[in-house]
C-alpha cells in the first residue's frame, strides 16, 4: 500500500480519539454510536482473533478486556505507536489486510472497524478468499464499516455532505472505496460465507459473515 496513505494516518494518530468522540462535526454521524459499534463487534467475536487496521487500539482494548487472544495488524507507524502505548502487552504488527503474519495455530475470528473500505472491491475479494482459508470450521468475520444500500444511496449521501458544506467528508465518500451491500454480499457468498448486515448509523453497518459448514 502507498506510503502517502500511511502518512495521512500517521498524522491523524494524535487526534484520532478526539474525532471518534465527536469533536469533528463533519464526521459526527460517521462516528455516532462508535463505542456501541465496537462493543457489538466484540460480542460477535470469539477465541483467537486477528484485528486489521487497529488504529489507536480502541477495539483491541475491548477485545482484550473480554478475554479474546488478539493479534492486531496496522500499517501506520503513528497509529501503532498510540495503540502500543495503550496496550503494551498486545501484539500489534506492521501489515495490512492483504499482507500480514500472525502467531495463531487456529484463527476463530477476523475483525475490523472503519477500515475495510481502504481496499478496492477486487482487493476485498482477494482478502475474503484468503480469510476463508485461514478460518477454522466455525470461523467468522465481523467487520463494521461504511456501506450503502446501492449506488443511488451513495450518490445521495455525497450530495447531502456537499449541501451541508462537509467538503472533506464528500471527498472521502467520492475517493475511497466505499461499496454497497449487494457487492459485499456476493463477495462473501462466493467464498463460502453466510452473511448478515445490521445498520448502526447513517453510514456504518456491522457485517457478520459465518463460514458455511462443509458436508462431510
Ligand X SMILES: C[S@@+](CC[C@H](N)C(=O)[O-])C[C@H]1O[C@@H](n2cnc3c(N)ncnc32)[C@H](O)[C@@H]1O
**Which of 124, 95, 151, 88 has the alpha carbon at shortest distance from 207?**
124
Closest distance to ligand X from the beta carbon of 214 (Å): 29
**Could you say whether residue 109 binds ligand X (CB under 6 A)?**
no
Judged by CB under 6 A, which stretch of 50-58, 84-92, 170-178, 195-203 contacts ligand X? Answer: 50-58
Q: Which residue from 113, 146, 179, 191 is in contact with ligand X, where contact means CB under 6 A?
A: 113
Q: Which residue from 40, 96, 172, 208 is in contact with ligand X, where contact means CB under 6 A?
A: 96
Does the annotation place 74 within a ligand binding site? yes
User: What single string gives the DSSP state of each residue in 135-191?
Assistant: EEEEEEEEEEEEEESSHHHHHHHHHHHHHTT-HHHHHHHHHS--EEHHHHHHHHHHT
**Could you say whether residue 115 binds ligand X (CB under 6 A)?**
yes
Cell numbers for 64: 482484550
Does the annotation place 53 within a ligand binding site? yes
Judged by CB under 6 A, which stretch of 113-121, 128-136, 180-188, 199-207 contacts ligand X? Answer: 113-121
**Could you say whether residue 76 binds ligand X (CB under 6 A)?**
yes
Distance CA 65, CA 53 (A): 19
When the beta carbons of 53 and 139 are compared against ligand X, the nearer one is 53
Distance CA 64, CA 83 (A): 13
Distance CA 119, CA 112 (A): 13
**Could you say whether residue 131 binds ligand X (CB under 6 A)?**
no
**Could you say whether residue 146 binds ligand X (CB under 6 A)?**
no
Cell numbers for 60: 483491541
**Could you say whether residue 53 binds ligand X (CB under 6 A)?**
yes
Compute the CA torsion angle 56, 58, 59, 63 (nearest 10 deg).
Answer: 120
Give the residues across from 70 on adjacent strands. Answer: 49
Binding residue ranges for S-adenosyl-L-methionine: 53, 74, 96
Point out which residues bind ligand X (CB under 6 A). 1, 9, 20, 52-55, 58-59, 74-76, 79, 96-97, 113-115, 118-119
Amino acid at each position: 500500500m502507498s506510503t502517502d496513505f500511511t502518512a495521512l494516518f500517521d498524522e491523524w494518530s494524535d487526534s484520532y480519539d478526539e474525532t471518534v468522540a465527536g469533536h469533528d462535526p463533519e464526521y459526527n454521524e460517521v462516528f455516532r454510536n462508535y463505542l456501541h459499534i465496537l462493543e457489538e463487534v466484540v460480542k460477535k467475536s470469539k477465541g483467537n482473533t486477528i484485528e486489521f487496521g487497529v488504529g489507536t487500539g480502541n477495539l483491541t482494548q475491548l477485545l482484550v478486556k473480554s478475554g479474546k487472544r488478539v493479534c492486531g495488524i496496522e500499517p501506520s507507524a503513528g497509529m501503532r505507536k498510540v495503540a502500543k502505548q495503550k496496550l503494551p502487552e498486545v501484539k500489534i504488527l506492521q501489515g495490512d489486510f492483504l499482507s500480514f503474519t500472525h502467531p495463531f495455530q487456529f484463527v476463530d475470528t477476523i475483525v475490523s472497524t472503519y477500515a475495510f473500505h481502504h481496499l478496492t472491491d477486487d482487493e476485498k475479494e482477494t482478502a475474503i478468499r484468503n480469510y476463508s482459508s485461514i478460518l477454522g470450521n466455525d470461523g467468522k468475520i465481523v467487520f463494521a464499516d461504511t456501506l450503502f444500500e446501492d449506488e443511488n444511496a451513495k450518490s445521495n449521501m455525497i450530495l447531502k455532505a456537499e449541501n451541508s458544506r462537509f467538503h472533506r467528508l464528500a471527498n472521502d465518500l467520492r475517493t475511497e472505496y466505499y461499496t454497497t451491500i449487494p457487492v459485499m454480499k456476493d463477495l462473501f457468498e462466493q467464498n463460502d460465507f453466510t452473511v448478515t448486515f445490521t445498520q448502526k448509523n447513517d453510514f456504518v453497518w456491522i457485517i457478520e459473515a459465518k463460514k458455511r459448514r462443509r458436508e462431510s
